[in-house]
Chains A and B, each alone.
Chain A
Amino acid sequence: MTVFRILSGLAIAALLGAIAYDLRRSGERWSCLGRFLRQEAKRAVLDWRGRKNSGAAGTLDILRRVVFGVSAAFFLVLALTGFAPILILGDHLSGILLIIHVTIAPLFALFLSALALLWAHRLRFDEGDWRLALGQERGRPFGKERLVRFALKVGFRLILFLSLPLMLTVILGLFPLFGTEGEALLIRWHGYSALLLMLVTLTEIHLTIVYVHHFTQHPVKERVP
C-alpha cells in the first residue's frame, strides 16, 4: 500500500506537472479546460438540434462524442474515488466512496466498450501513421497536428489495452477462484492497471483538448457571433 501510494502520488504529480508545463508553454491556462467543456457542450446542443439535417452519420457522431464525454466523466469519478482514499488517507477504498466506485465501474465498462466500437475505426492507423511509427518518414518534415493525432490513436489503443487487466482483475476477484493472497494480488494489479490507465487517459484527454482547440475549426466559434 505504501509503495503504491508513493508511486501513484509521484506519477500523478509528474503528469499534472507536465500538462501544466505544456499549457503554460502554449500560453494556455487551466481555465481552457472549462472553456473547452463549455464549447463542446454548445457544439453538442447545436449538433443535436441539426441532427435531422445531418442524417444517421450526424446522429452517430453525436453519439460518439457523448460516449467519449460520459466515459471520460465516469473515468474521472472512478479515479477520484479510487485514488483519493489511498493518496489522502492511506487507507483502502471503503464506505460511500466504495459504493460510488462499484456503482460507476460497470457503467464505465459499458461506455468504454461502446467507445471502443464507435471510435476504433475513426482512430484507426493509416499508412502515414505506420510510416511514422516505423520511422520511414525520418528526415521528412511532418506537422505537430499529425503527431498529436498519432499520439491520440496510440493513446486510444493503450486505454483499451490497459482496461483489459483492469477489468480482468475485477472479474476474477468476483469469483471464488483465488484465496487471500490471490485476491490481494488481484487488487494490487487492479491498482497498478488503474494507475497506468489514469496516466494514459489524462494524457489522452489533454491531447484531445489540444487537438480540438488548436487543429480543428471550431463550429461554435464560427456560429456564435
Chain B
Amino acid sequence: MKNTFLLLLYLALFNGSVSAQMPENVGDIADGNRSVPVHLIKLYDEFERVIKLDDRPLMPFSSRETCRKCHEYDKIRRGWHFNAADSGAVGRRGEPWILVDRQAVTQIALSYRSWPGAYAPGSVGLSTFGFLKMFGRHLPGGGIGEKEGAQDLNDYMRWQVSGNLDINCQSCHNADPAQSQAEYGVQVLRQNFRWAATAGSGFATVQGSAGDMPDNYDLYSAVPPEQSNVLPPTVTYNSSHFDVAGRVLFNVPRRMPPTQCSFCHSSKVIDPSNLERWQGEEDVHTAAGMICVDCHRNGLDHQIVRGYEGEGEETGRPAVVPFTCKGCHMGSIDAPVPVEGRRGAPRPRHPGIPPIHFDKLACTACHSGPWPTSNTQRVKTSRAHALGIPKTDKGDEALPHIMTPVFARLRDGTYAPHNAFWPAFWAYQSRDGLAPIAPGRMRARVQAVLGRDTTRVAGRWPVLQESEIVEILQQLRLDDSTSGNPVYVSGGGLYAIGPGGTVARREDEAAGPYLWPIAHDVRPKAQSLGVRGCTDCHATDAPFHFGTVIIASPYVLRPDSTNRMTAYQDKNPVSVWVFSMSFLFRPGLKVMLIVCFALIAWVVLISMLRGFAHIIRTLAAEEE
C-alpha cells in the first residue's frame, strides 16, 4: 500500500516535471537568424486532419491546429487580445464594446474585463455566443470564442453548428494583400465561426451561413428538406495556392504592417473642417516609417505592450517600462543601460515649459489626439461603429456618439485626452447598485410608447419625453417590484419617478461618462499643445480647461447638454479661470520683473563698488 502511494506520488511529480519542462515548439525557438522563416505549410482542420483539395466535404482550416504544429497555442491564447474573460487580466481602462440598441434607446459599455463603468455582457442578457454574433467581427478569435466553460447551455446547439471561434492568427500575422479582416467579420456575423479564418485568408471562398442552419444541422449531412432554400456554409479553396505537396504559403513577416492593426484600431474624428480623407494626417510615428509593433511588442505569450505609464508596475512586468513615450524619448534613470533614442526617437527639449507640467500631464495631453477645439468632436472607432465591415453605417451621426478629446484625470493623477461616451440604459436600482435591463426586454415596450407619437421625427437617436420616461418606468415597476427602483440612465444623470409622478434627476457615478485614454494619433512637435505659448492651455477660453464637452443624450429635456472640461479634471473652475486670467498680464509682469531685477542689481552693485572703494581707501591709508 505504501509502495503504491509512493509510486503514485512519483508519477504525479514526474508527470508534473515533464509538463513543466515540455520542450518549446520548433517555431518558438529563435536561433538568432534574422531572416524571416518561410511559412509554406500544410493546412489542418479542427480535427487535426490535413486538408486535401479532394476532400468531401471540404473543411475550413483551423488556425489553431495549423499553427500549433510549430507554435505553443496554449501559451498564445493567454495573450492580451484573447484573455479578456480571464480573471485578473485587467490593466488600464480601455475601449469597451458598446452595445447600441436604438429601439430600446440604449447604449451601454460592455467588457469581460472588470473595468469600472463597463458591464459584463451577461448582465444585459448577452451570452458568449450572442456577444460574438454582435462583436466578433472585430475580435481576432480565441478567448470566449473557444472557452467552452463560458458557453451558455442554451446556445449549445448553435455552437455545434457554428463551431468555435478559435484564434485567427492570420488576423495579425498574414500580410498577404488578399487577407481580408472584413470578410472574416462578415463570416462571424453570419455565425460561420469555424469558417471565418479560412474566408479571410484570401485563398478560399466561403458561402452560406451557419446562422440560417437549423439547430440539428451537421457538417457531414445535407441540409434538411425544410431548409433546402438556404445554402449551408461551404468552403472552396483556390487550388492555385496549393503546391504539389498540398502546402500553402503564408506571408508572415516579423514586422507586421500597421494596416493589420488598423482594422480593429482605427478611429475617425468627425471634424466639419476636415471632412475629406486627403485632408487628414496620420500618426507622426507611422508617417516616419514606424509600425505599430515597433512599440507595441510582444513575445510568444502575446502579452502585447500597451505602452502606458505605470503598465510595468500594474502587470508586474518591469521589462515593458522602457516601451512608453518617456522610455523611448527620455530614457529611464532606473535602466541599467541607456534605452532612450530607440528607433531614432528624438529627445525633446521642451524649452520654457516648467517641469511641473511633466508631473501633471501625460505625454499624450499635448501630443495626441485631435487638436482640441472649443467643442469636443465626435469620433467613430472600428469596434464601436463596425468600421471596415461592408454595409456598416458610414454616416457621421451613426451611434454611439463618442466625444473626443476630453481632458480628464488618469489614475496616476495626470491629465490625458480621453474618448468619452455617456451610457443610456434602463435599470433597476438597488442597494447593490444598478442592474441594467437587457435591451431585448425593453425594445417592444419602448417602441409601443414611442410609436404612439406619429409626428415624431425618426432620427438616429430617438428622443424621449418626460412623460414617456415616466410611463416606461411605471411599467417596469409594475413588472417587477422586487428588483429595485426602476431608473433610466441618460446624459450623465439618473432619472427615476419623483414625487407627483414627475421625472426626478439625480447624479450618480454609474451615469457618468465612460472615459478611456487615447494615445493616437500622435501629432508632430509643431502641432503640440503649447507650441504657440502658454495660452494654448492657460487662457480663459482654452479648450484644455474650458472646452465644451457635449453630452449626447436621448432624453429630450437634455438632448445634447454640455459640461465644462474642468468637470472631468477634479478642479475648481474658478481657480483655473483665475490662474488662466493671470496669463493675460504675464507679458507685463515679465517686464516688471526685469525692471525690478535691474533696480535691485543696481543697488547691490553700488554697494559692492562702495565696499571696494572703501577697501582701496583703507589699503591706501595704511600705505601712507
Contact = CB atoms under 8 A, between A and B. Distances in A.
A182 to B, nearest CB: 8
B604 interface: yes
Residue of B349, B350, B355, B606 contacting most chain A CB atoms (<10 Å): B355
A170 interface: yes
A180 B592 contact: no
Given A99-B578, A170-B593, A160 B352 contact: no
B545 to A, nearest CB: 13
A157 B607 contact: yes
B356 A171 contact: no
A125 B594 CA distance: 27
A164 B601 contact: yes
Given A92-B359, A98-B579, A183-B352, A168 B607 contact: no
Given A94-B360, A134-B618, A178 B611 contact: no
B600 interface: yes
Interface in A174-212: 174-180, 183-184, 187
Nearest to A168: B597
B579 A163 contact: no
A23 interface: no
A94 B360 CA distance: 10
B352 A117 contact: no
Residue of A99, A179, A183 contacting most chain B CB atoms (<10 Å): A183
Interface residues on A, range: 35 or more
A167 interface: yes
Contacts of A175: 352, 590
A205 B358 CA distance: 37
B596 interface: yes
A106 B350 contact: no
A78 interface: no
Interface in A16-57: none
A59 interface: no
A112 B531 CA distance: 34
A177 to B, nearest CB: 7
A215 interface: no
Nearest to A164: B601
B102 to A, nearest CB: 44
Nearest to B533: A176
Interface in B333-353: 348-353
B441 interface: no
Contacts of A116: 599-600, 603-604
A98 B538 CA distance: 14
B520 to A, nearest CB: 23
A109 B593 CA distance: 7
Interface of A, secondary structure class, is helix
B350 to A, nearest CB: 5
Contacts of B606: 120
Interface of B, secondary structure class, is helix
Given A157-B604, A175-B352, A180-B348, A164 B358 contact: no
B110 to A, nearest CB: 37
B10 to A, nearest CB: 56
A219 B358 CA distance: 55
Contact of A106 (B351, B589, B610): B589
Contacts of A80: none
Contacts of A177: 351-352
A139 interface: no
Interface string A89-128: 0001111101100110010011011001100100011000
B330 to A, nearest CB: 8
A176 B351 contact: yes
A179 B604 contact: no
B32 interface: no
Residue of A113, A160, A163, A175 contacting most chain B CB atoms (<10 Å): A113
B241 interface: no
Contact of A171 (B575, B579, B593): B593
Nearest to B607: A157
A184 B582 CA distance: 22
Contacts of B618: 130, 134
Nearest to A123: B607
A179 B353 CA distance: 7
A174 B590 contact: yes
A160 B350 CA distance: 32
Contacts of B352: 173-178, 183
B355 A187 contact: yes
A61 B582 CA distance: 33
Contact of A183 (B350, B578, B596): B350
B354 interface: yes
A125 B589 CA distance: 33
A163 B351 contact: no
Contacts of B610: 124-125
A110 B600 CA distance: 10
Contact of A184 (B355, B575, B586, B594): B355
B604 A161 contact: yes
A91 to B, nearest CB: 9
A178 B604 contact: no
A66 B267 CA distance: 62
B600 A112 contact: yes
Nearest to A172: B352
A77 to B, nearest CB: 16
Given A180-B353, A183-B354, A183-B355, A95 B575 contact: yes
Nearest to A153: B607
Contact of A180 (B350, B578, B594, B596): B350
Contacts of A164: 597, 600-601, 604
A102 B603 contact: no
A103 B582 contact: yes
Contact of A109 (B355, B358, B597, B607): B597
A178 B595 CA distance: 21
A115 B355 CA distance: 32
A168 B601 CA distance: 10
A179 B349 contact: yes
B394 interface: no
Contacts of A102: 579, 582
Interface string A148-173: 00000000010011011001101101
B265 interface: no
Contacts of B589: 106
B614 interface: yes
Contacts of A96: 572, 575
B592 A106 contact: yes
Given A99-B578, A173-B352, A167 B600 contact: yes
A99 B572 CA distance: 12
Contacts of A170: 593
Residue of A96, A106, A170 contacting most chain B CB atoms (<10 Å): A106
Given A160-B603, A175-B352, A179-B348, 14 more contacts: A92-B359, A98-B579, A120-B603, A125-B610, A160-B607, A164-B601, A167-B593, A167-B596, A171-B593, A171-B594, A173-B354, A180-B348, A180-B349, A183-B350
In the A-B complex, the 8 residue pairs with the smallest Cβ-Cβ separation, listed nearest first, are: A176-B352, A179-B349, A109-B596, A176-B351, A113-B599, A113-B596, A116-B603, A184-B355
Interface of B: 348-356, 358-360, 572, 575, 578-579, 582, 586, 589-590, 592-597, 599-601, 603-604, 606-607, 610-611, 614, 618
18 contacts: A92-B356, A99-B575, A106-B589, A106-B592, A109-B593, A112-B600, A113-B600, A116-B600, A120-B603, A167-B597, A168-B597, A173-B352, A174-B586, A174-B590, A180-B353, A180-B358, A183-B354, A184-B355
